[in-house]
Amino acid sequence: MSREYCKIFAAEARAAPGFGEVPEIIPLYLIYRPANNIPYATLEEDLGKPLESYCSREWGCAEAPTASGSSEAMQKCQTFQHWLYQWTNGSFLVTDLAGVDWKMTDVQIATKLRGYQGVKESCFPALLDRFASSHQCNAYCELLGLTPLKGPEAAHPQAKAKGSKSPSAGRKGSQLSPQPQKKGLPSPQGTRKSAPSSKATPQASEPVTTQLLGQPPTQEEGSKAQGMR
pTM for this predicted structure: 0.63
Number of domains in the chain: 1
Residue with the bigger pLDDT between 103 and 184: it is 103
User: Is residue 201 situated within a structural domain?
Assistant: no
How high is the pLDDT of residue 213?
Answer: 47
A 10 A CB-CB count for 190 gives: 6
Mean pLDDT of the chain: 74
User: Is residue 82 situated within a structural domain?
Assistant: yes
CA distance 113 to 117: 10
Domain encompassing residue 75: 1-60+69-144
Would you say residue 18 has pLDDT above 90? yes
User: Is residue 193 situated within a structural domain?
Assistant: no
Beta strand segments in 56-189, E: 92-95, 97-100, 103-105, 108-111
User: Is residue 222 situated within a structural domain?
Assistant: no
Which residues does 82 contact at the CB level (< 8 Å), separation at least 6?
A: 135, 137, 141, 146, 149
**CATH code: domain of residue 98:** 3.20.200.10
User: Is residue 213 situated within a structural domain?
Assistant: no
CA distance 108 to 56: 9
CA distance 37 to 157: 55
Tens of pLDDT, residues 101-127 = 999 998 988 988 887 777 777 788 889
Burial of 53 per CB tally in 10 Å (0-12, 13-18, 19+): middle
Confidence of residue 211 (pLDDT cuts 50, 70, 90): very low
User: Is residue 168 situated within a structural domain?
Assistant: no
The backbone torsions φ and ψ at residue 120, rounded to the nearest 5 degrees and listed phi first, read -85, -25
User: Is residue 211 situated within a structural domain?
Assistant: no
User: Is residue 207 situated within a structural domain?
Assistant: no
Confidence of residue 33 (pLDDT cuts 50, 70, 90): very high
Quick one: average pLDDT of 135-144? 94
Tens of pLDDT, residues 71-102 = 899 999 999 999 999 999 999 999 999 999 99
